[in-house]
Chains A and B, each alone.
Chain A
Amino acid sequence: MELVTPGVGLIFWQTVTFIIVLFLLSKFAWKPIMSALSEREASIEKALSAAEKAKLEMQGLKAENEKLLAEARMERDKILKEASDAGNAMIESARNKANEEGGRMIAQAREAIENEKRAAITEVKNMAAALSVDIAERILRKELSNPQAQQELAQDYIREVTLN
């Protein structure tokens, strides 16, 4: 029974002390501690959301950069393609021109050769004619050194003339 009978003195001291403790701790401990905690939590919250925002911004920037890069790459490709096209066209036209020029030169050469050939043939013909005349002359001269042969020849001519 002794144990479960509250004593007046202890009730008094406990009440007084507890109320003082409650008041003083509330004012000087719990209030600053709780406000510091919530302040810190708020600042952490803020920092986290700022970091999140920065991350999103970074992502946006990165995407933009990538877009720019892709555009630049595309531009480069386009330029390269154009350049190569232009080069190809140039080469093509040069080749055509060269072919044309070459063809023309070949044709000219061929013509010159033809002319030369013709001239050469003409010369050969003339030379052959002269040679045959010369040979004939030399043969005739040799044949006609004999008076009998001369006679025969004259006879032949006469015969021919009469036939005419």
Chain B
Amino acid sequence: MKKLFILLFSFLTISAHAEAAAEGGEFKPGDMITHHIADDYSWHFADGATLYLPVILIDNGQLNVFSSSNFYNENHELVPYNGFVLDHGHIYRADASGEPAADQAGLLDFSITKNVASLFLSVALLFLVFLTIASSYKKNHGKAPRGIQSFFEPIIIFVRDEIAKANIGPKYERYMPYLLTIFFFIWFNNLLGLMPGGANLTGNIAVTLVLATMTLLITVFSGNKSYWKHIFATPGVPVWLAPIMIPVELIGIITKPFSLMVRLFANITAGHIIILSLFSLIFIFQSIAVGPLSVAFATFMFFLELFVALLQAYIFTLLSAMYFGGAVEEHDHVGDHGHGDGAH
């Protein structure tokens, strides 16, 4: 089954190659890879199977909604539409000659891009899976889990016992919904990103930025007296050091979620880049002989990525739980809390 995915994956790269060749000549692996891991206004499954997604623009308060297919003419060439132009993966206001205009102020792009569509898909999947599970808990009240419920129950219990209880302590319960949501959100999206034609959602900095910001906000808003005391008057540190310590601690508040943001983004994007690079080797060497080797390495990488998909979800959730734990912990000692941030 997985081999099949790899095979489909390789078709995708081939089609990308064909695309690149059609656009004029040489195969540029860098461009192909960037194209694959970047966001897009259409969802390209295979040549001839492209889903054009809606473009939503707010131009100085005026709403513009149209299909991204309007940016292409019948020869699949980019054309300006309605005063806008798609250039290098971005939509700009067009000038008279159809080129991006110099003045782009006040143009906001809320398009349902490939990543947003993939986000909606993952959300639908999350609802489907977990509402089904929740209903089977009602149906199987007090009985042993069955079916999909018995697959996810140990994972839910793992998140509760090993991540939340172990790192937050007695107040773990109110963080459970958030921890479970980010865990399964990241995991599902990591896996969807590995699907053939999947979007690189969790490898997009905007997504990881939002997730990390959520963790930051929850940490800051659940910080108790001792948490703030540690930041503004770190116990055991002389008062005259405060002008240095306070900024350092305040930066520390930001760097923790910042590391969360970069870690998830970098790990997922790197995995995609490696697999795509391995396939690109075939086209760089222009030799079929490289094919089996590339596929073998890419298969290995794919399995590794399946593991990384779970691992990154676990790490993001674990570190979030640690930050929450540090914020709600009741302590008087000069602790070394919050230094669990060495993982991966």
By a CB distance below 8 angstroms, the chain A residues around B157 are: 37
Contacts of A10 in B (CB 8 A): 39, 113, 115-116, 204, 206-207
A105 located at the interface, meaning its Cβ lies under 8 Å from any Cβ of chain B in the complex: no
CB pair B206–A33 under 8 Å, yes or no, is no
Closest to B173 in A: A34
Residues of B within 8 A of A7 (CB): 39, 109, 113, 206
Do residues A37 and B156 form an inter-chain contact, with CB atoms below 8 A? yes
Contact B185 A21 (CB under 8 A): yes
Q: Which of A2-48 contact B (CB under 8 A)?
A: 2-15, 17-18, 20-22, 24-26, 28-34, 36-37, 39-40, 43
Shortest beta-carbon distance from B113 to chain A in Å: 7
Contact-residue size bin, chain B (C-beta under 8 Å from the other chain): 35 or more
Is B181 in contact with chain A by the CB < 8 A criterion? yes
- Is B133 located at the chain interface by the 8 A CB criterion? yes
Are the CB atoms of A13 and B116 closer together than 8 Å?
A: yes
The reply on B134 being an interface residue by CB < 8 A is yes
Kindly identify, within residues 124 to 163 of chain B, every residue whose CB is under 8 Å from any CB belonging to chain A.
126-127, 130-131, 133-134, 137-138, 141-142, 153, 156-157, 160
Q: Given known contacts A12-B110, A33-B156, is B205 in contact with A25 (CB within 8 Å)?
A: no
- By a CB distance below 8 angstroms, the chain B residues around A40 are 142
Contacts of A3 in B (CB 8 A): 34, 37-38, 205, 269
- Chain A contacts for B153, CB-based, 8 A: 37
Q: Mark B205-230, 1 if CB is under 8 A from A, else 0.
A: 11101110010000000000000000
Which A residue's beta carbon lies closest to that of B149? A33
**Which residues of chain B are near A20, meaning CB under 8 Å?**
123
How far does the alpha carbon of A20 sit from the alpha carbon of B210 in the complex, in Å?
A: 13
Does B20 touch A at the CB level, under 8 Å?
Answer: no
What residue of chain A has the Cβ atom nearest to residue B110's Cβ?
A: A9
A21 contacts B207, C-beta separation under 8 Å: no
Cβ–Cβ < 8 Å partners of B173 in chain A: 34
Give the docked Cα–Cα distance between A26 and B205 (Å). Answer: 25
Give Cα A2 to B269, complex, Å.
Answer: 13
The answer to the question of B111 belonging to the interface, with a C-beta cut-off of 8 Å to chain A, is yes
Q: How far is the CB of A23 from chain B (nearest CB, A)?
A: 9
Q: Which of A31-70 contact B (CB under 8 A)?
A: 31-34, 36-37, 39-40, 43
B178 contacts partner chain A, Cβ-Cβ < 8 Å = yes
In Å, the complex CA distance between A29 and B130 comes to 6
- Does B245 touch A at the CB level, under 8 Å? no
B119 within 8 A of partner (CB): yes
Q: A32-B134, A33-B137 known; A39 and B142 CB under 8 Å?
A: yes
Partner among B56, B109, B206 whose Cβ is within 8 Å of the Cβ of A14: B206
Known: A3-B205, A11-B209. A33 touches B130 (CB 8 A): yes
B181 contacts A9, C-beta separation under 8 Å: no
Partner of A13, one of B37, B110, B180, B209: B110
> Are the C-beta atoms of B156 and A25 separated by less than 8 Å?
no
Is residue B89 contacting chain A, with contact meaning CB distance below 8 A? Answer: yes
Q: Which A residue sits closest to B116, measured CB to CB?
A: A13
Interface mask (B251-291 → A, CB under 8 Å = 1, otherwise 0): 00000000000000100010000000000000000000000
Q: A164 CA to B14 CA in the complex, in Å? A: 189
**Complexed CA–CA distance, A57 and B111 (Å):** 70
- Does B176 interact with chain A (Cβ within 8 Å)? yes
Known A25-B127, A25-B180, A30-B177: A17·B206 in contact at CB below 8 Å: no
Give Cα distance in the complex from A14 to B189, angstroms. Answer: 12
A26 touching B110, Cβ below 8 Å: no
Given known A28-B131, A32-B137, contact A2–B180 (CB-CB < 8 A): no
Which residues from chain B contact A37 at a C-beta distance below 8 Å? 137, 153, 156-157, 160
**B210, A22: Cβ atoms closer than 8 Å:** no
B-side contacts of A36, CB under 8 Å: 137-138, 141
Interface residues of B (CB under 8 A from A): 34, 37-39, 56, 89, 108-113, 115-116, 119-120, 123, 126-127, 130-131, 133-134, 137-138, 141-142, 153, 156-157, 160, 173, 176-178, 180-181, 185, 204-207, 209-211, 214, 265, 269
Q: Can you list 23 contacts pairing A with B, beta carbon distance less than 8 Å?
A: A2-B34, A2-B89, A3-B34, A6-B205, A9-B56, A9-B109, A10-B39, A13-B110, A13-B112, A13-B119, A17-B123, A18-B181, A20-B123, A22-B177, A22-B178, A25-B177, A29-B130, A30-B130, A32-B134, A34-B160, A36-B141, A37-B153, A37-B160
Given A25-B181, A26-B178, 9 new contacts (CB under 8 A): A6-B205, A9-B108, A10-B39, A10-B113, A10-B207, A11-B210, A18-B211, A33-B133, A34-B160
